[in-house]
A and B are shown apart, each in its own frame.
Chain A
Amino acid sequence: MTSPADTPNAVRQDKYYLALPLGQRSPLRVIVDKRNLLANLLLLGLLILLAGASLNIGSAASLSLPATLRALLGDGSPLDTFVIQELRLPRVIAGIVTGGAFALAGCLMQTVARNRLATPGIVGLDNGATAFAVASVVGTGISLAPPAMALTGAAVAAALTFGLTGRIGVRGYRFLVAGIGVGAVFGALTQLMLTRVSIDAANAAYPWTVGSLNARPDHAVLSLSLALPPALLAGIWLTRSLTVLRLSDAVAISLGIAAGRCRMAALSVAVILTGLAVAVAGPVGMVALIGPEFARQLSAKNTVPVVGATLAGAVVMVAADLLGRMLLAPIEIPVGIVTALIGSPLLLWILLNPNARTAP
């Protein structure tokens, strides 16, 4: 007879997993991968560090650490308090939520398409959301709030790309080229709208075309902040099914997972997050590639790093914004350009390295 301690669960619990009790006397345990826990804690620490640095450093004044803390709590000098609370804190918060949203969407979509390169930016979602957001800003008859319009745009682009794939499926490279085509159409439409309107309206819509944390409309940040936690919970809830879905549909279905429904749910979450994030910061699509990639390097190999990708995306976004503000000091490089300069070589490397796997 085997004792309870010899069951596979107990062994695995010792080596790779941690069973956290849900309550003081509850028999329920949450099984956590030790490596993922460590990776997430590391990313969280990095995020706090970078957010602190981002609050500290700026072109107006680089405050000392105690001064920053005092200003953050509201009893520093009026100027410091203004700079920190009104200028830098909203920017950091916007960076964290958009980065997290983009990266979570990227992680989900990569898993659904079983392709590391299939991020929302590449398959045209960013451009679709941008086109619709610009349409609402320049006011071409449709005057829904930008977040709602961006959401609609992302949904339309996703429907187009996934609907058009049909026979060719989503796994191969052809899907990506079809997505690039859809993205090109929406990019052209954005250009079209920007040339039709007056220069003032075009300038108002400009941040949406490069990706920047400068504009960050308040209601857009608010709606994204409200949407991110439920989306993250949904992602965590989907993790187990998605992990199995990475193998094959046959395996997933035989394990009792509704493959179609699960894929649809993950895709919807990705579309919502991308649309709302574009409404805040514009198309910073490369974060959706860099964030999950970063998290995957740190996390255990056999899981879908949903939480890790969210944290890593926030880290990348805040770091890129900080870098963009510091590099050419009086001029600010939009965060979209910084991430594109970092992300494109990474993308090329994944694509051209003959040994790289395309499956996430």
Chain B
Amino acid sequence: MRVLTHCLSFGKPRSLIGLWLGLSGLLAAIALLSLLYGAGDVGPARAWQALQDLGAAASYDSEAHFVIAELRAPRLWIGLVVGAALGIAGALLQAVTRNPLAEPGLLGVSAGAAFAVTLAILWGADTATLRVSVAQLGALGGCLCVLAAARLQGIGSDPIRLILAGAILSGLLHSLSSLILLYDQHTADEIRFWVVGSLAGRQLDDLVPLFPTLGVATLLTILLARPLAALALGEHVAIGLGHHPRVVRLLVIVVVALLVGGATAAAGPIAFVGLVVPFAARALAGPDIRRTLWLCLPLGPIVVVSADIVSRLVVPPSELPLGVLTALIGAPVLIGVVRGRRLPTL
């Protein structure tokens, strides 16, 4: 227990705890809304009644019960997991590249995962476990490509060029995926609803294969938080404090790949969450990575679940893909950051 508090010690405990509790309360309220509102016939009042009857064996509204338990609850759970994973992955990637714009969707990590899954389905894979590991491997490939680019002379110091390279890499991988979909109709049918990024039609079973790798990622994140905070002070300081920058960077990349690959396997490529969430977290909690990570935990699900609610309510009875909404929220944030007088350095 002492190790845990040591690893996760935050600078100003009281203010952070207050913020965290407030955001968690907000998240709980949004989660409740996500159960109450939907595109179908079951309105908020019926859903509320059904939720209250849940414990009692009294004659409950079976339709509302079905809608909540089988349709809305799985979406909520997947939204929570995906949001937290993407938010934390964004914060980690931004810390390790020291680039406030580094976002898994923009840097080609999600696109790598999506491309790997497309390839795997083309070659006949369709079990959920395989899909998760394949997506994580693809995400790792995307990560390594971008990091290799960042290592090139003159790029590492320029965050904007790194983002451009990532965006172009994403475009290239996207074209390759489209080419495969065009070539193979079977793959296209299987993947069409996955490739736009959405929480619709997911079951709780889709979530189960994620847990082992997400557990590993959580553990690694806890262990890496302090070294990352030291690394933010500069390479020499980190070495002086007894950390190994190369090992830390490599491990962070693995964690990002696990998180983004898992989230992509569950919900498809969703862009801009990894940009918006750490951005908001830093604005609330300051630049310390440990505090940022704590706040990303409730903020990521808040963004994803509320975007999911909006996607259900805007055009009933049909739904918007989640990726569309996150892009509409995230792109203005991107433009705002880029337009700033000076890029905030990490």
Q: Bound pair: A and B?
A: yes
Q: Interface on chain A toward B: helix, strand, loop, or mixed SS? A: helix
Total chain B interface residues with beta-carbon distance under 8 A:
44
Asked, given contacts A195-B321, A340-B175, A344-B175, whether A351 binds B327 with beta carbons under 8 Å apart, the answer is no
Is B335 within 8 A of A354, CB to CB? no
Asked, given contacts A191-B321, A337-B178, whether A351 binds B335 with beta carbons under 8 Å apart, the answer is no
List CB contacts (< 8 Å) of B311-341 with chain A: 315, 318-321, 323-325, 327-328, 330-332, 334-335, 338-339, 341
Q: Interface on chain B toward A: helix, strand, loop, or mixed SS? A: helix
Q: Is B176 an interface residue (CB 8 A)?
A: yes
Total chain A interface residues with beta-carbon distance under 8 A:
40
Beta-carbon nearest neighbor of B158 in chain A: A173
Beta-carbon nearest neighbor of A346 in chain B: B168
Query: Which A residues are closer than 8 A to B by beta carbons?
Result: 117, 164-168, 172-174, 176-178, 180-182, 184-185, 187-189, 191-192, 195-196, 210, 328, 331, 333-334, 336-337, 340-341, 344-345, 347-348, 351-352, 354
Min CB gap B177→A, angstroms:
10
Is B332 within 8 A of A196, CB to CB? no
Min CB gap B134→A, angstroms:
22
Is A352 within 8 A of B152, CB to CB? yes
Min CB gap A287→B, angstroms:
14
Is B172 within 8 A of A174, CB to CB? no
Query: Which B residues are closer than 8 A to A by beta carbons?
Result: 101, 149, 152-155, 158, 160-161, 163-165, 167-169, 171-172, 175-176, 178-179, 182-183, 196, 271-272, 315, 318-321, 323-325, 327-328, 330-332, 334-335, 338-339, 341
Q: Which residues on the B side are within 8 Å of A334 (C-beta)? A: 182
Is B172 within 8 A of A184, CB to CB? no
Min CB gap A173→B, angstroms:
4
Cα of A168 to Cα of B335 in the assembled complex, Å? 11
Cα of A164 to Cα of B160 in the assembled complex, Å? 17
Cα of A210 to Cα of B196 in the assembled complex, Å? 15
Min CB gap B152→A, angstroms:
5
Is B332 within 8 A of A185, CB to CB? yes
Is A184 within 8 A of B168, CB to CB? no
Is A210 within 8 A of B178, CB to CB? yes
Beta-carbon nearest neighbor of B197 in chain A: A191
Is B168 within 8 A of A351, CB to CB? yes
Q: Which residues on the B side are within 8 Å of A178 (C-beta)? A: 334-335, 338-339
Min CB gap A75→B, angstroms:
38
Is B338 within 8 A of A168, CB to CB? yes
Min CB gap A2→B, angstroms:
49
Q: 9 smallest A-B Cβ distances: which pairs? A: A344-B172, A188-B327, A340-B175, A173-B160, A181-B335, A184-B331, A181-B331, A181-B334, A188-B324
Asked, given contacts A181-B334, A182-B335, whether A340 binds B152 with beta carbons under 8 Å apart, the answer is no
Partner of B168, one of A165, A189, A195, A348: A348
Partner of B338, one of A181, A331, A340: A181
Min CB gap A221→B, angstroms:
24
Beta-carbon nearest neighbor of A336 in chain B: B175
Partner of B183, one of A189, A196, A328, A354: A328
Beta-carbon nearest neighbor of A161 in chain B: B335
Q: Which residues on the B side are within 8 Å of A345 (C-beta)? A: 172
